[in-house]
């Protein structure tokens, strides 16, 4: 706002920039303490040992004397000082507040410029930027105000796809900070590969099963029909093959870190799979996952019969399981995060407050709230406002050693 020449301002915005070292913030506030000002807002960031400190205060009667004192303090600290007189106090940020998380490997300036441009096009403002991780992907969170989150999500999803980065937009609300339930698909999400194809290798029909699986995941076949067709091919496989399959399973990178870290924070986990309980129940026990639901292979006389027992967990069954688990945990569906990759996950993703397409088929990416296309399941934590530094500190306190980051 325009300041009348010679008039006493209502506020002073004081900005210091320079090399960071202990005592800078203390020195600045000690100088301010010599007058009767009120602190209205403070923001500080350190980037590569460069400090930017912004302080908004009420202006004292002799505000020019304060300005001179702050400049002297800045000189003593070897820092640059800017003081901007203004009118009005610390007004609330505009409505329509969102957390926008960017994941890139690498994250290039052109992508940042494009995302910032689309935010501006939406009439929104970036209030704050924080780094959540620098490896193995770069994760940046933007605090944005002034735009409807749903409109912003659609705008930024398209731009993120064009720039080759992942963009997640979530409304700023208390839900993000409360207890939540995470419901995950298993095959090609929690684990690498498809269990039914691993079992099929023991029956010599892996290629045929893989073709049907791929068509089902693309949504070209009814899931229940395709499942029964594939299981029929497994008739006669020894039940002992399931133990061999389980021993050969490779978890998605970051899966244990995700479950371990969020469980510390009171999150609950569930796995819902179109695969088989003989595998998923063991996975749940191994990882400390609270709930599991999957299909059950029929076994008679130590061999698979080529049939499943009971109701098939299909697309609708996954969504139904999500709702039942949420009710058991005692959280609303808005507090559920669902993660999946195939067409049979669509209803589950749509039922959750946040549906994440993880390295998913195009039709799933288009339908989900956001997509993660990097091969690290623990990047989901960055969408929740948890930084890699916080995760590593918690692990270190528990005696868990993490690999040193690249220099």
Give the residue numbers annotated as catalytic, written as ranges.
185, 187
Q: Are 299 and 231 in contact (CB under 8 A)?
A: no
How far, rounded to the nearest angstrom, does the alpha carbon of residue 397 sit from its chain's CA centroid? 23
Can you tell me the distance from the alpha carbon of 196 to that of 213, in angstroms, rounded to the nearest whole number? 9
Helix (H, G, I), strand (E, B) or coil at 236: coil
Whole-number Å distance between alpha carbons of 189 and 270: 13
Label the pairing between strands 268-276 and 11-19: unpaired
- Strand 181-184 and strand 268-276: the pairing is parallel
Q: How many CB atoms lie within 10 A of CB 148?
A: 15
Report CA-CA distances (Å) from 16 to 70, 75, 139, 319, 350.
9, 10, 26, 52, 46
Contacts of 271 (CB under 8 A, 6+ apart): 183, 184, 185, 186, 190, 280, 283, 284, 289, 291, 292, 293, 294
Q: Which helix (H) or strand (E) holds 279?
A: helix 277-287
Distance (Å, whole) CA 209 – CA 221: 13
């Amino acid at each position: 706002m325009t300041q009348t020449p010679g008039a006493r301002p209502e506020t002073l915005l004081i900005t210091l920039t320079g090399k960071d070292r202990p005592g800078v913030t203390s020195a600045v506030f000690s100088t301010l303490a010599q007058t009767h000002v009120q602190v209205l807002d403070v923001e500080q960031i350190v980037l590569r040992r460069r400090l930017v400190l912004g302080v908004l205060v009420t202006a004292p009667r002799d505000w020019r004397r304060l300005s001179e004192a702050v400049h002297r303090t800045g000189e003593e600290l070897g820092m640059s000082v800017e003081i901007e007189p203004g009118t009005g106090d610390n007004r609330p940020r505009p409505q329509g507040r969102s957390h926008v998380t960017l994941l890139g490997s690498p994250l290039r300036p052109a992508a940042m410029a494009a995302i910032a441009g689309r935010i501006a096009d939406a009439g929104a403002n970036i209030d704050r930027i924080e780094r959540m991780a620098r490896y193995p992907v770069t994760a940046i969170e933007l605090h944005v105000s002034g735009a409807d989150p749903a409109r912003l999500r659609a705008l930024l999803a398209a731009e993120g796809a064009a720039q080759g980065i992942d963009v997640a937009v979530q409304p700023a609300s208390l839900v993000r900070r409360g207890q939540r339930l995470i419901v995950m698909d298993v095959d090609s999400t929690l684990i690498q590969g498809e269990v039914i194809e691993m079992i099929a290798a023991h029956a010599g029909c892996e290629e045929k099963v893989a073709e049907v699986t791929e068509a089902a995941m693309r949504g070209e076949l009814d899931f229940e029909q395709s499942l029964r067709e594939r299981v029929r091919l497994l008739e006669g496989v020894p039940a002992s093959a399931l133990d061999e399959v389980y021993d050969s399973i490779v978890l998605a990178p970051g899966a244990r870190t995700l479950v371990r870290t969020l469980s510390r924070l009171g999150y609950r986990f569930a796995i819902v799979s179109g695969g088989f309980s003989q595998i998923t129940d063991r996975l749940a026990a191994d990882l400390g996952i609270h709930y599991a639901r999957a299909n059950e292979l029929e076994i008679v006389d130590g061999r698979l019969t080529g049939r499943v027992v009971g109701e098939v967990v299909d697309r609708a069954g996954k969504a139904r399981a999500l709702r039942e688990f949420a009710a058991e945990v005692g959280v609303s569906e808005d507090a559920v995060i669902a993660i999946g990759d195939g067409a049979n996950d669509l209803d589950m993703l749509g039922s959750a407050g946040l549906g994440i397409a993880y390295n998913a088929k195009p039709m799933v990416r288009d339908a989900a709230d956001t997509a993660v296309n990097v091969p690290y399941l623990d990047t989901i934590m960055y969408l929740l406002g948890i930084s890699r530094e916080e995760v590593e500190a918690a692990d270190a306190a528990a005696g868990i050693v993490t690999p040193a980051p690249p220099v």
